A and B are shown apart, each in its own frame.
Chain A
Amino acid sequence: MNVFNEIMFIYGMTFLISMFVALVIKMLAKTIEKLPEGGFSIAAVVTVAGNNIRQAMMRNKKTVSEFKKTAAGSNDELLNFYHER
Protein backbone atom coordinates (compact mmCIF):
# COMPACT_ATOMS: atom_id res chain seq x y z
CA MET A 1 0.00 0.00 0.00
CA ASN A 2 2.85 2.29 0.93
CA VAL A 3 4.60 1.68 -2.38
CA PHE A 4 1.32 2.15 -4.21
CA ASN A 5 0.87 5.56 -2.57
CA GLU A 6 4.42 6.48 -3.43
CA ILE A 7 3.94 5.44 -7.06
CA MET A 8 0.72 7.39 -7.34
CA PHE A 9 2.43 10.41 -5.79
CA ILE A 10 5.31 10.20 -8.29
CA TYR A 11 2.97 9.77 -11.26
CA GLY A 12 0.79 12.63 -10.04
CA MET A 13 3.79 14.88 -9.51
CA THR A 14 5.18 14.00 -12.93
CA PHE A 15 1.85 14.84 -14.51
CA LEU A 16 1.49 18.13 -12.65
CA ILE A 17 5.04 19.27 -13.33
CA SER A 18 4.75 18.27 -17.00
CA MET A 19 1.54 20.24 -17.35
CA PHE A 20 3.18 23.17 -15.58
CA VAL A 21 6.09 22.95 -18.02
CA ALA A 22 3.63 22.79 -20.93
CA LEU A 23 1.87 25.88 -19.56
CA VAL A 24 5.20 27.72 -19.21
CA ILE A 25 6.07 26.77 -22.80
CA LYS A 26 2.67 27.91 -24.07
CA MET A 27 2.81 31.25 -22.26
CA LEU A 28 6.41 31.79 -23.24
CA ALA A 29 5.71 31.06 -26.87
CA LYS A 30 2.70 33.39 -26.85
CA THR A 31 4.48 36.26 -25.09
CA ILE A 32 7.64 36.11 -27.17
CA GLU A 33 5.58 35.76 -30.36
CA LYS A 34 4.01 39.14 -29.68
CA LEU A 35 7.34 40.92 -29.28
CA PRO A 36 8.09 43.59 -31.87
CA GLU A 37 10.66 42.90 -34.59
CA GLY A 38 14.13 42.36 -33.08
CA GLY A 39 12.66 42.99 -29.68
CA PHE A 40 14.28 40.99 -26.97
CA SER A 41 14.76 44.11 -24.84
CA ILE A 42 13.35 44.29 -21.33
CA ALA A 43 11.20 47.26 -22.37
CA ALA A 44 9.56 45.22 -25.14
CA VAL A 45 8.87 42.28 -22.83
CA VAL A 46 7.45 44.61 -20.18
CA THR A 47 5.25 46.34 -22.77
CA VAL A 48 3.82 43.06 -24.01
CA ALA A 49 3.33 41.73 -20.47
CA GLY A 50 1.76 45.07 -19.48
CA ASN A 51 -0.64 44.93 -22.40
CA ASN A 52 -1.65 41.40 -21.46
CA ILE A 53 -2.31 42.46 -17.87
CA ARG A 54 -4.24 45.58 -19.01
CA GLN A 55 -6.40 43.50 -21.33
CA ALA A 56 -7.11 41.05 -18.50
CA MET A 57 -8.03 43.95 -16.21
CA MET A 58 -10.33 45.42 -18.84
CA ARG A 59 -12.08 42.08 -19.16
CA ASN A 60 -12.42 41.90 -15.40
CA LYS A 61 -13.74 45.46 -15.19
CA LYS A 62 -16.35 44.68 -17.81
CA THR A 63 -17.46 41.60 -15.91
CA VAL A 64 -17.76 43.58 -12.70
CA SER A 65 -19.84 46.31 -14.30
CA GLU A 66 -22.08 43.68 -15.89
CA PHE A 67 -22.41 42.09 -12.48
CA LYS A 68 -23.35 45.44 -10.99
CA LYS A 69 -25.90 46.08 -13.69
CA THR A 70 -27.58 42.72 -13.61
CA ALA A 71 -27.33 41.64 -10.00
CA ALA A 72 -27.25 45.08 -8.41
CA GLY A 73 -25.64 43.34 -5.49
CA SER A 74 -24.69 44.78 -2.16
CA ASN A 75 -21.13 45.80 -1.28
CA ASP A 76 -20.63 42.48 0.53
CA GLU A 77 -21.70 40.54 -2.51
CA LEU A 78 -19.39 42.60 -4.66
CA LEU A 79 -16.50 41.97 -2.27
CA ASN A 80 -17.24 38.24 -2.36
CA PHE A 81 -17.28 38.41 -6.11
CA TYR A 82 -13.83 40.02 -6.06
CA HIS A 83 -12.53 37.38 -3.66
CA GLU A 84 -13.83 34.61 -5.84
CA ARG A 85 -12.15 36.15 -8.84
Chain B
Amino acid sequence: MSGNDFGQLFQGVYTLITSETYIAVARIGLIILGLLLIYLGKKGVLEPLLMIPMGLGMATINASSMVMPDGSQGNLFVDPLTTDINKLLDLLQIDFLQPIYTFTFSNGLIACFIFMGIGSMLDISYILKRPFTSMIIAVFAEMGTILTIPIAMLFGLSIQDAASAAMVGGADGPMVLFTSLNLSKDLFVPITVVAYLYLGLTYGGYPYLIRALIPARLRGIKMTREKGNTKQISGGVKLGFASILCVVLCLLFPVAAPLFFSLFIGIAIRESGLMHVQNFIEGPLLYGSTFFLGMLLGILCEAHLILNPKILMLLVLGIVALLLSGVGGIMGGYFLYFVKKGNYNPVIGIAGVSCVPTTAKVAQKEVHKVNPQSMILPEALGANISGVITTAIITGLYITLFK
Protein backbone atom coordinates (compact mmCIF):
# COMPACT_ATOMS: atom_id res chain seq x y z
CA MET B 1 0.00 0.00 0.00
CA SER B 2 1.70 3.21 -1.15
CA GLY B 3 1.49 6.61 0.53
CA ASN B 4 -0.76 7.78 -2.26
CA ASP B 5 -3.24 4.97 -1.56
CA PHE B 6 -3.16 5.85 2.13
CA GLY B 7 -3.96 9.45 1.21
CA GLN B 8 -6.83 8.33 -0.99
CA LEU B 9 -8.20 6.16 1.79
CA PHE B 10 -7.97 8.63 4.70
CA GLN B 11 -8.42 11.96 3.00
CA GLY B 12 -9.09 13.96 6.17
CA VAL B 13 -5.66 13.05 7.54
CA TYR B 14 -4.05 13.40 4.11
CA THR B 15 -5.35 16.95 3.60
CA LEU B 16 -4.20 17.83 7.11
CA ILE B 17 -0.66 16.64 6.39
CA THR B 18 -0.38 18.09 2.91
CA SER B 19 -1.96 21.51 3.56
CA GLU B 20 0.08 24.54 4.60
CA THR B 21 1.18 24.59 8.23
CA TYR B 22 -1.03 27.51 9.33
CA ILE B 23 -4.11 25.84 7.81
CA ALA B 24 -3.29 22.53 9.51
CA VAL B 25 -2.78 24.27 12.85
CA ALA B 26 -6.00 26.25 12.40
CA ARG B 27 -7.93 23.08 11.57
CA ILE B 28 -6.68 21.33 14.70
CA GLY B 29 -7.35 24.47 16.76
CA LEU B 30 -10.90 24.75 15.43
CA ILE B 31 -11.57 21.05 16.08
CA ILE B 32 -10.48 21.58 19.69
CA LEU B 33 -12.52 24.80 19.95
CA GLY B 34 -15.58 22.98 18.56
CA LEU B 35 -15.24 20.25 21.17
CA LEU B 36 -14.77 22.90 23.86
CA LEU B 37 -17.99 24.64 22.79
CA ILE B 38 -19.87 21.34 23.12
CA TYR B 39 -18.43 20.93 26.62
CA LEU B 40 -19.29 24.52 27.63
CA GLY B 41 -22.76 24.12 26.15
CA LYS B 42 -23.36 20.93 28.09
CA LYS B 43 -22.08 22.57 31.27
CA GLY B 44 -24.47 25.49 30.75
CA VAL B 45 -21.72 28.12 30.55
CA LEU B 46 -22.78 28.89 26.96
CA GLU B 47 -26.23 28.51 25.38
CA PRO B 48 -26.46 24.75 24.64
CA LEU B 49 -29.20 25.17 22.05
CA LEU B 50 -26.77 26.97 19.79
CA MET B 51 -23.38 25.82 21.00
CA ILE B 52 -23.82 22.06 20.74
CA PRO B 53 -24.75 22.01 17.01
CA MET B 54 -22.25 24.81 16.36
CA GLY B 55 -19.42 23.07 18.21
CA LEU B 56 -20.00 19.74 16.51
CA GLY B 57 -20.34 21.44 13.13
CA MET B 58 -17.07 23.31 13.68
CA ALA B 59 -15.17 20.18 14.73
CA THR B 60 -16.65 18.06 11.96
CA ILE B 61 -16.08 20.45 9.07
CA ASN B 62 -12.43 20.85 9.96
CA ALA B 63 -11.99 17.11 10.21
CA SER B 64 -13.72 16.26 6.96
CA SER B 65 -11.68 18.19 4.43
CA MET B 66 -11.13 16.02 1.32
CA VAL B 67 -9.58 16.11 -2.13
CA MET B 68 -12.09 17.18 -4.74
CA PRO B 69 -12.11 15.85 -8.36
CA ASP B 70 -10.28 18.99 -9.57
CA GLY B 71 -7.49 18.40 -7.01
CA SER B 72 -8.47 21.21 -4.64
CA GLN B 73 -9.50 20.72 -1.01
CA GLY B 74 -13.17 20.87 -0.17
CA ASN B 75 -16.00 19.12 1.64
CA LEU B 76 -19.42 17.65 1.06
CA PHE B 77 -21.27 20.05 3.35
CA VAL B 78 -21.55 23.49 1.80
CA ASP B 79 -19.70 25.99 -0.39
CA PRO B 80 -20.79 29.45 0.74
CA LEU B 81 -18.61 31.39 -1.68
CA THR B 82 -20.04 30.08 -4.94
CA THR B 83 -21.52 32.77 -7.12
CA ASP B 84 -21.62 30.92 -10.44
CA ILE B 85 -25.21 29.78 -11.08
CA ASN B 86 -24.28 26.53 -12.88
CA LYS B 87 -21.86 25.53 -10.15
CA LEU B 88 -24.45 26.40 -7.54
CA LEU B 89 -27.00 24.15 -9.23
CA ASP B 90 -24.46 21.32 -9.14
CA LEU B 91 -23.65 22.00 -5.50
CA LEU B 92 -27.33 21.97 -4.55
CA GLN B 93 -27.37 18.35 -5.66
CA ILE B 94 -24.07 17.37 -4.05
CA ASP B 95 -23.47 19.28 -0.79
CA PHE B 96 -26.11 18.18 1.67
CA LEU B 97 -26.36 21.51 3.54
CA GLN B 98 -26.15 23.69 0.43
CA PRO B 99 -29.97 23.89 0.00
CA ILE B 100 -30.41 25.05 3.60
CA TYR B 101 -27.58 27.57 3.25
CA THR B 102 -28.72 28.93 -0.12
CA PHE B 103 -32.45 29.06 0.56
CA THR B 104 -32.52 30.06 4.22
CA PHE B 105 -29.19 31.43 5.39
CA SER B 106 -27.73 33.60 2.63
CA ASN B 107 -31.04 35.45 2.10
CA GLY B 108 -31.62 36.07 5.82
CA LEU B 109 -34.73 33.86 6.00
CA ILE B 110 -33.41 31.95 8.99
CA ALA B 111 -32.84 35.23 10.86
CA CYS B 112 -36.45 36.19 10.08
CA PHE B 113 -37.74 32.80 11.31
CA ILE B 114 -35.90 33.32 14.60
CA PHE B 115 -37.29 36.82 14.83
CA MET B 116 -40.83 35.46 14.36
CA GLY B 117 -40.16 33.07 17.23
CA ILE B 118 -38.83 35.89 19.41
CA GLY B 119 -41.91 37.98 18.54
CA SER B 120 -44.28 35.18 19.47
CA MET B 121 -42.68 34.96 22.90
CA LEU B 122 -42.67 38.70 23.64
CA ASP B 123 -45.27 40.16 25.96
CA ILE B 124 -45.33 43.76 24.82
CA SER B 125 -47.54 44.98 27.65
CA TYR B 126 -44.31 45.90 29.47
CA ILE B 127 -43.39 48.44 26.80
CA LEU B 128 -47.00 49.61 26.35
CA LYS B 129 -47.15 50.59 30.01
CA ARG B 130 -44.00 52.68 29.97
CA PRO B 131 -42.89 53.39 26.39
CA PHE B 132 -40.74 56.47 27.02
CA THR B 133 -38.60 55.15 29.86
CA SER B 134 -38.14 51.83 28.03
CA MET B 135 -37.11 53.54 24.82
CA ILE B 136 -34.73 55.96 26.57
CA ILE B 137 -32.94 53.04 28.22
CA ALA B 138 -32.77 51.23 24.88
CA VAL B 139 -31.30 54.24 23.09
CA PHE B 140 -28.60 54.57 25.77
CA ALA B 141 -27.86 50.87 25.44
CA GLU B 142 -27.15 51.28 21.72
CA MET B 143 -23.94 53.16 22.57
CA GLY B 144 -21.79 50.19 21.56
CA THR B 145 -23.70 49.67 18.31
CA ILE B 146 -22.87 53.21 17.28
CA LEU B 147 -19.58 54.17 18.92
CA THR B 148 -17.85 50.99 17.75
CA ILE B 149 -18.03 52.26 14.16
CA PRO B 150 -15.29 54.93 14.52
CA ILE B 151 -13.20 52.50 16.58
CA ALA B 152 -13.52 49.85 13.86
CA MET B 153 -12.61 52.41 11.23
CA LEU B 154 -9.49 53.28 13.22
CA PHE B 155 -8.61 49.59 12.89
CA GLY B 156 -8.83 50.04 9.11
CA LEU B 157 -12.25 48.55 8.37
CA SER B 158 -14.50 50.07 5.72
CA ILE B 159 -17.64 51.78 7.01
CA GLN B 160 -19.78 48.82 5.87
CA ASP B 161 -17.60 46.29 7.69
CA ALA B 162 -17.38 48.61 10.69
CA ALA B 163 -21.18 48.95 10.86
CA SER B 164 -21.61 45.17 10.62
CA ALA B 165 -19.06 44.59 13.40
CA ALA B 166 -20.64 47.32 15.52
CA MET B 167 -24.01 45.56 15.32
CA VAL B 168 -22.63 43.00 17.77
CA GLY B 169 -23.23 45.74 20.37
CA GLY B 170 -26.96 45.37 19.73
CA ALA B 171 -26.61 41.83 21.12
CA ASP B 172 -29.17 40.54 18.69
CA GLY B 173 -27.92 37.60 16.62
CA PRO B 174 -30.46 37.70 13.76
CA MET B 175 -29.88 41.44 13.37
CA VAL B 176 -26.09 40.98 13.12
CA LEU B 177 -26.62 38.27 10.51
CA PHE B 178 -29.06 40.42 8.53
CA THR B 179 -26.81 43.51 8.59
CA SER B 180 -23.61 41.70 7.70
CA LEU B 181 -25.34 39.79 4.88
CA ASN B 182 -26.40 43.13 3.45
CA LEU B 183 -23.29 45.19 4.09
CA SER B 184 -20.35 42.90 4.46
CA LYS B 185 -20.54 39.77 2.29
CA ASP B 186 -16.85 38.92 2.80
CA LEU B 187 -16.93 39.17 6.56
CA PHE B 188 -20.41 37.96 7.46
CA VAL B 189 -19.24 34.51 8.54
CA PRO B 190 -16.63 35.66 11.10
CA ILE B 191 -18.81 38.56 12.29
CA THR B 192 -21.82 36.31 12.89
CA VAL B 193 -19.72 33.64 14.59
CA VAL B 194 -18.13 36.25 16.86
CA ALA B 195 -21.57 37.70 17.62
CA TYR B 196 -23.09 34.38 18.61
CA LEU B 197 -20.05 33.41 20.67
CA TYR B 198 -20.19 36.65 22.60
CA LEU B 199 -23.96 36.61 23.04
CA GLY B 200 -23.48 33.43 24.98
CA LEU B 201 -21.06 35.29 27.21
CA THR B 202 -23.33 38.21 28.14
CA TYR B 203 -25.01 36.02 30.74
CA GLY B 204 -21.67 35.46 32.42
CA GLY B 205 -20.04 38.86 31.85
CA TYR B 206 -22.71 41.50 32.47
CA PRO B 207 -23.22 40.74 36.19
CA TYR B 208 -19.60 41.81 36.79
CA LEU B 209 -20.18 45.02 34.85
CA ILE B 210 -23.29 45.76 36.95
CA ARG B 211 -21.42 45.15 40.19
CA ALA B 212 -18.50 47.29 39.02
CA LEU B 213 -20.61 50.28 38.02
CA ILE B 214 -23.53 50.28 40.44
CA PRO B 215 -23.05 50.22 44.22
CA ALA B 216 -25.07 47.68 46.22
CA ARG B 217 -27.12 50.46 47.82
CA LEU B 218 -28.50 51.49 44.41
CA ARG B 219 -28.81 47.91 43.13
CA GLY B 220 -31.28 47.18 45.91
CA ILE B 221 -33.65 50.07 45.18
CA LYS B 222 -37.29 49.01 45.37
CA MET B 223 -39.37 51.15 43.05
CA THR B 224 -42.87 52.35 43.82
CA ARG B 225 -45.16 52.08 40.82
CA GLU B 226 -47.83 54.49 39.63
CA LYS B 227 -51.44 53.30 39.97
CA GLY B 228 -52.15 53.16 36.24
CA ASN B 229 -49.23 50.87 35.64
CA THR B 230 -50.83 47.90 37.32
CA LYS B 231 -53.74 47.78 34.85
CA GLN B 232 -53.92 44.78 32.49
CA ILE B 233 -53.56 45.51 28.78
CA SER B 234 -55.87 43.53 26.52
CA GLY B 235 -54.79 41.40 23.57
CA GLY B 236 -56.64 43.74 21.22
CA VAL B 237 -54.53 46.72 22.32
CA LYS B 238 -51.35 44.69 21.81
CA LEU B 239 -52.50 43.48 18.39
CA GLY B 240 -53.34 47.05 17.37
CA PHE B 241 -49.96 48.21 18.63
CA ALA B 242 -48.08 45.50 16.69
CA SER B 243 -49.97 46.13 13.45
CA ILE B 244 -49.66 49.90 13.43
CA LEU B 245 -46.07 50.02 14.64
CA CYS B 246 -45.05 47.47 12.00
CA VAL B 247 -46.56 49.62 9.25
CA VAL B 248 -44.98 52.81 10.65
CA LEU B 249 -41.50 51.26 10.91
CA CYS B 250 -41.76 49.69 7.45
CA LEU B 251 -42.72 53.08 6.04
CA LEU B 252 -39.58 54.52 7.62
CA PHE B 253 -37.17 51.70 6.71
CA PRO B 254 -38.30 49.43 3.87
CA VAL B 255 -34.82 47.83 3.78
CA ALA B 256 -35.35 46.35 7.24
CA ALA B 257 -39.01 45.54 6.57
CA PRO B 258 -38.43 41.73 6.57
CA LEU B 259 -37.12 41.98 10.13
CA PHE B 260 -39.88 44.31 11.34
CA PHE B 261 -42.52 42.14 9.69
CA SER B 262 -41.09 38.97 11.22
CA LEU B 263 -40.98 40.43 14.72
CA PHE B 264 -44.46 41.93 14.60
CA ILE B 265 -46.11 38.96 12.89
CA GLY B 266 -44.87 36.89 15.83
CA ILE B 267 -46.42 39.40 18.27
CA ALA B 268 -49.63 39.61 16.20
CA ILE B 269 -50.04 35.81 16.13
CA ARG B 270 -49.51 35.65 19.89
CA GLU B 271 -52.02 38.37 20.63
CA SER B 272 -54.67 37.22 18.16
CA GLY B 273 -54.98 33.93 20.02
CA LEU B 274 -54.07 31.66 17.11
CA MET B 275 -52.75 29.01 19.43
CA HIS B 276 -51.86 26.39 16.81
CA VAL B 277 -49.82 28.87 14.76
CA GLN B 278 -48.22 30.34 17.87
CA ASN B 279 -47.24 26.87 19.07
CA PHE B 280 -45.72 26.18 15.67
CA ILE B 281 -43.77 29.48 15.57
CA GLU B 282 -42.40 29.41 19.12
CA GLY B 283 -41.81 25.66 19.01
CA PRO B 284 -40.73 23.86 15.86
CA LEU B 285 -39.97 26.97 13.80
CA LEU B 286 -37.88 28.77 16.44
CA TYR B 287 -36.08 25.72 17.74
CA GLY B 288 -35.62 24.24 14.25
CA SER B 289 -34.22 27.53 12.92
CA THR B 290 -31.90 27.97 15.91
CA PHE B 291 -30.66 24.41 15.45
CA PHE B 292 -29.96 24.87 11.74
CA LEU B 293 -28.42 28.30 12.37
CA GLY B 294 -26.08 26.87 14.99
CA MET B 295 -25.16 23.95 12.77
CA LEU B 296 -24.53 26.15 9.73
CA LEU B 297 -22.47 28.63 11.76
CA GLY B 298 -20.32 25.73 12.93
CA ILE B 299 -20.00 24.34 9.41
CA LEU B 300 -19.00 27.77 8.13
CA CYS B 301 -16.09 27.83 10.59
CA GLU B 302 -13.97 25.91 8.11
CA ALA B 303 -10.30 26.89 8.43
CA HIS B 304 -9.93 28.29 4.88
CA LEU B 305 -13.07 30.34 5.28
CA ILE B 306 -12.71 31.71 8.78
CA LEU B 307 -8.98 32.37 8.70
CA ASN B 308 -9.41 35.97 7.87
CA PRO B 309 -6.70 38.40 9.02
CA LYS B 310 -9.52 40.53 10.40
CA ILE B 311 -10.83 37.86 12.78
CA LEU B 312 -8.69 38.98 15.73
CA MET B 313 -9.82 42.53 15.15
CA LEU B 314 -13.44 41.38 15.08
CA LEU B 315 -12.99 39.53 18.35
CA VAL B 316 -11.72 42.74 19.96
CA LEU B 317 -14.42 44.90 18.36
CA GLY B 318 -17.17 42.50 19.43
CA ILE B 319 -16.21 42.71 23.07
CA VAL B 320 -15.75 46.50 22.85
CA ALA B 321 -19.22 46.87 21.32
CA LEU B 322 -20.91 44.75 23.98
CA LEU B 323 -19.00 46.49 26.76
CA LEU B 324 -19.94 49.96 25.48
CA SER B 325 -23.58 48.93 25.12
CA GLY B 326 -23.63 47.60 28.68
CA VAL B 327 -22.01 50.79 30.00
CA GLY B 328 -24.42 52.90 27.92
CA GLY B 329 -27.41 51.00 29.28
CA ILE B 330 -26.27 51.54 32.86
CA MET B 331 -25.73 55.24 32.09
CA GLY B 332 -29.34 55.29 30.90
CA GLY B 333 -30.36 53.66 34.17
CA TYR B 334 -28.52 56.38 36.11
CA PHE B 335 -30.08 59.07 33.93
CA LEU B 336 -33.59 57.85 34.79
CA TYR B 337 -32.58 57.38 38.43
CA PHE B 338 -31.82 61.10 38.62
CA VAL B 339 -34.82 62.15 36.50
CA LYS B 340 -37.19 60.13 38.69
CA LYS B 341 -35.50 61.42 41.82
CA GLY B 342 -34.29 58.06 43.03
CA ASN B 343 -37.41 56.03 42.20
CA TYR B 344 -35.67 54.00 39.50
CA ASN B 345 -33.27 51.11 39.81
CA PRO B 346 -30.27 51.82 37.52
CA VAL B 347 -29.66 48.08 37.06
CA ILE B 348 -32.62 48.07 34.63
CA GLY B 349 -30.30 49.89 32.22
CA ILE B 350 -28.44 46.70 31.37
CA ALA B 351 -31.70 45.23 30.06
CA GLY B 352 -31.67 47.83 27.28
CA VAL B 353 -29.11 45.60 25.60
CA SER B 354 -31.55 43.59 23.55
CA CYS B 355 -30.48 40.04 24.28
CA VAL B 356 -34.07 38.91 24.99
CA PRO B 357 -34.67 37.85 27.74
CA THR B 358 -31.13 37.20 29.00
CA THR B 359 -30.20 40.73 30.05
CA ALA B 360 -33.57 41.27 31.78
CA LYS B 361 -33.00 38.07 33.72
CA VAL B 362 -29.45 39.14 34.59
CA ALA B 363 -30.76 42.49 35.87
CA GLN B 364 -33.44 40.89 38.05
CA LYS B 365 -30.97 38.31 39.39
CA GLU B 366 -28.46 40.98 40.41
CA VAL B 367 -31.14 43.07 42.12
CA HIS B 368 -32.58 40.03 43.89
CA LYS B 369 -29.16 39.22 45.37
CA VAL B 370 -29.05 42.59 47.13
CA ASN B 371 -32.74 43.04 47.92
CA PRO B 372 -35.08 40.05 47.47
CA GLN B 373 -38.09 42.40 47.89
CA SER B 374 -37.22 44.43 44.80
CA MET B 375 -38.95 43.34 41.58
CA ILE B 376 -37.69 45.07 38.44
CA LEU B 377 -38.47 42.39 35.86
CA PRO B 378 -41.47 44.20 34.23
CA GLU B 379 -39.42 47.37 33.67
CA ALA B 380 -36.42 45.32 32.55
CA LEU B 381 -38.50 43.40 30.02
CA GLY B 382 -39.92 46.67 28.68
CA ALA B 383 -36.39 47.98 28.15
CA ASN B 384 -35.40 44.63 26.66
CA ILE B 385 -38.18 44.67 24.05
CA SER B 386 -37.46 48.32 23.28
CA GLY B 387 -33.87 47.26 22.73
CA VAL B 388 -35.03 44.90 19.98
CA ILE B 389 -36.95 47.75 18.33
CA THR B 390 -34.08 50.26 18.54
CA THR B 391 -31.60 47.67 17.21
CA ALA B 392 -33.96 47.07 14.29
CA ILE B 393 -34.14 50.84 13.74
CA ILE B 394 -30.33 51.04 13.67
CA THR B 395 -30.20 48.08 11.29
CA GLY B 396 -32.52 49.99 8.99
CA LEU B 397 -30.39 53.14 9.29
CA TYR B 398 -27.13 51.30 8.61
CA ILE B 399 -28.42 49.42 5.59
CA THR B 400 -30.06 52.55 4.17
CA LEU B 401 -27.05 54.79 4.74
CA PHE B 402 -24.13 52.48 4.02
CA LYS B 403 -25.26 49.95 1.40
Contacts and interface: CB of A to CB of B under 8 A. Distances in A.
Interface string B120-140: 000000011101101110110
A6 B402 CA distance: 11
A3 interface: yes
A32 interface: yes
Contact of A25 (B149, B245, B393): B245
B237 A32 contact: yes
A25 to B, nearest CB: 4
A14 B240 contact: no
Contact of B128 (A17, A25, A40): A25
A18 B135 contact: yes
B132 A10 contact: no
Interface string A1-43: 0011011001101110111011111101100110100001000
A24 B147 CA distance: 27
Given A7-B147, A40-B236, A18 B393 contact: yes
B36 interface: no
B244 A21 contact: no
A64 B138 CA distance: 40
Contact of B240 (A13, A21, A23, A40): A40
A32 B142 contact: no
Nearest to B402: A6
B134 A22 contact: yes
A60 B66 CA distance: 79
Nearest to A8: B146
Contacts of A15: 139
B131 A11 contact: no
B132 A14 contact: no
Contact of A14 (B127, B147, B245, B393): B393
B236 A18 contact: no
B252 interface: yes
The DSSP consensus for interface residues of chain A is helix
B355 to A, nearest CB: 18
Contacts of B233: 29
B236 A32 contact: yes
**A24, A25, A28, A40 interface centre (most CB from chain B within 10 Å):** A25
A18 B397 contact: no
Given A19-B132, A22-B131, A14 B237 contact: no
A6 B245 CA distance: 26
Contacts of A23: 131
B150 A25 contact: no
A74 to B, nearest CB: 41
A32 B236 CA distance: 8
A28 B240 contact: yes
6 closest A-B pairs by beta carbon, nearest first, are A22-B131, A25-B131, A22-B135, A18-B135, A32-B237, A22-B132
Interface of A: 3-4, 6-7, 10-11, 13-15, 17-19, 21-26, 28-29, 32-33, 35, 40
11 contacts: A10-B394, A11-B146, A13-B397, A14-B142, A14-B390, A15-B139, A18-B389, A21-B249, A21-B393, A24-B245, A29-B237
Given A14-B139, A28-B237, A29-B241, 9 more contacts: A7-B149, A13-B397, A17-B252, A17-B393, A18-B386, A21-B389, A22-B132, A22-B135, A40-B240
